[in-house]
Chain A
């Protein structure tokens, strides 16, 4: 117990991140279920007080993004894998690393207080003023949760950038890094630059609400749109903090289970990842297409937003190309990873009309948007985390999970998400607004809402099977061999499963022709 509490080992810290983010995911998932059940019938179903619904929705959105996906990808996976993938014995600042995970845990506790304090926050995860200032809900809890998580993330960013820059194994060049390591670097660069902006925005809300300032109050000279610009200046790049490591995870998993090198690696890294980081910081106004922003900015960011399809497309080509003439085995992680290729397609393509300002004047704030971001972020990135847990499960625990249970859970999840979210595109196009407790003005959508709720129940079953499988596997699974997938990546080839303290029996050095993707030997012909 004590050795877990006071650990500075990046592997244990990674596991602590995993436990915290899965806890957040579970509670936020239960909120999703409540939301869906509430929408099952016209009028009140579970509650007749819309505020309850709004609090569930606030918690669901905020926790899924800030307390599950971002810490799951950049806390848990990055913590566990990056040092081992680059051949380091730990991160650059292990104590700071421990401090970040504790900040994260405090934030989770603070967020969970939502359910016990009187007047919990009901400001949605976006916290727009003047509502977040005027509401009787306790906006401070929202603000402090964001502060803690943000602070934790910034410390993580500094730590991991230093680690990757200075602690790579002797001989390891930049073009020999795992794709996942590169995406983590990209994600942390974004965190480091943009989180302070979000922190500033929510702090000003705090001042407005509790200290009587007027940053966002027009009656006293403030400006409502200022907040929205600051918020999305961070929160759009934040979706790449999620997307990039998710793609990185998938890339490494697909490469491992197709036993092929990453297709067009350099283009994927320098065009795909870095193109996304650079372009991704110039598109935030696409969240403000209907917010009364100046017209020229709305058109300018339509163009930049559409061009984002270029770097993202390059990464997708790398993902799909890695399958070409591969030797694919459909283990559970590979099933999740391959299903993500379809999810990213649906989520990505539905982003294109949303990038077009004039089309979005209709689609903004409808269920079309809701379905779109669930496909790309809610589902694709979540599946990437799940694929990651399964793929490195033997590494973390030294044991194997149960393959049939894994596949059963996958089946429920995959069918469930499509039943839940695909029909919502349809009612979104017809005008069903999101964040609605009830839809009395559009009663014709009741049937679709019911199908969607049934899908959510399927997901709940799938998730339960999945988490059960992990718990059972970690406690009683059969012992795993050192390299069960036959991977060429350093975390499998150079150390034991699970790795001991210091990660490597002998500190690794690598030669110039070493690569984490050295499959197929030299027999492959060139084109």
Chain B
């Protein structure tokens, strides 16, 4: 409920608030457009669109197939000859209908795309390294995420904080896929790619590899574990024996202030698709 109120307020007020740097954390979080939710809504629209076209077309085809069966051996079809006007109409009208639907879908797809690629300012950064056949996650205080009891990789993240993974591979192309967050991006040597997601609900979901990478491809899975923010801080504290660097300040600022390890993550990526470092541009 609180979220909803803030979302509406945040949306309306966003233009005015953009410059108000000292605005509270709550408002900032409230204007996050969760791409995963956006995906589900858009998918729903697309599905309705496709089903409608599909059923309409299928009915027409079935109707034609049933109604125009041959009655006598020598009968020929009697389809009307198209005049030039008819021919043009049968070209231009479908072209416009298809184009209209295409552009409608493109516009909506683009909108979601912007949400998917624009990393929120307060995102927590994780450095992801892929290798045959494992994933490694490094927080910006330098510690690694621990595997679970079976030795499977686990990415632990705090609830309610956007996470951006800055990714590269040590060997071949892999792809980091989070089915529950409806997002994936390839991970390769020589380039740094990124994706971000918004862990809103507590619990564990699957992460897995979706670019063929050899004999262990289908065993390259693990999980994302979302824990309460307080528990996450505790965990980080236990790991480092110090306060987590990422929790409050944006990493770029932290890096600038301390000139320490996190700078690596925030350095401009080689790849053309490199994200602006979260928090940059303020």
Contact = CB atoms under 8 A, between A and B. Distances in A.
A110 interface: no
Given A223-B190, A326-B77, A524-B80, A435 B221 contact: no
Interface residues of B, number: 84
Interface in B165-205: 171-173, 175, 177, 179-180, 182-186, 188-191, 193
A122 B98 CA distance: 40
A6 B216 CA distance: 47
A325 B70 CA distance: 10
Contacts of A259: 70, 75-77
A294 B269 CA distance: 13
Interface stretch (B87-95, B134-142, B253-261): B87-95
B240 interface: no
A128 B179 CA distance: 23
Nearest to A221: B190
B122 interface: no
A118 interface: no
Interface stretch (A98-106, A169-177, A301-309): A301-309
Interface string A333-369: 0000010011001100110110111110110111000
A322 B87 CA distance: 13
A481 to B, nearest CB: 13
A266 B75 CA distance: 26
A260 B77 contact: yes
Nearest to A521: B76
Given A263-B79, A345-B57, A362 B183 contact: yes
B120 to A, nearest CB: 17
Nearest to A431: B179
Interface stretch (A234-242, A312-320, A499-507): A312-320
A140 to B, nearest CB: 18
A175 to B, nearest CB: 12
A433 interface: yes
9 contacts: A259-B70, A260-B76, A302-B106, A309-B98, A327-B76, A328-B68, A329-B70, A356-B109, A431-B208
Interface of B: 35, 38-39, 42-43, 46, 49-50, 53-54, 57-58, 60-61, 64-65, 68-71, 74-83, 86-87, 90-91, 94-95, 98-99, 101-103, 105-106, 108-110, 112-113, 116-117, 171-173, 175, 177, 179-180, 182-186, 188-191, 193, 206, 208-219, 221, 271-273
Given A327-B76, A327-B78, 19 more contacts: A50-B217, A122-B214, A130-B171, A224-B189, A224-B190, A260-B77, A290-B185, A290-B186, A321-B79, A326-B79, A328-B65, A345-B54, A346-B54, A359-B39, A362-B43, A434-B210, A437-B217, A441-B208, A524-B79
List the 6 closest pairs (A to B, CB-CB), nearest first: A218-B190, A431-B179, A260-B77, A356-B109, A436-B218, A362-B182
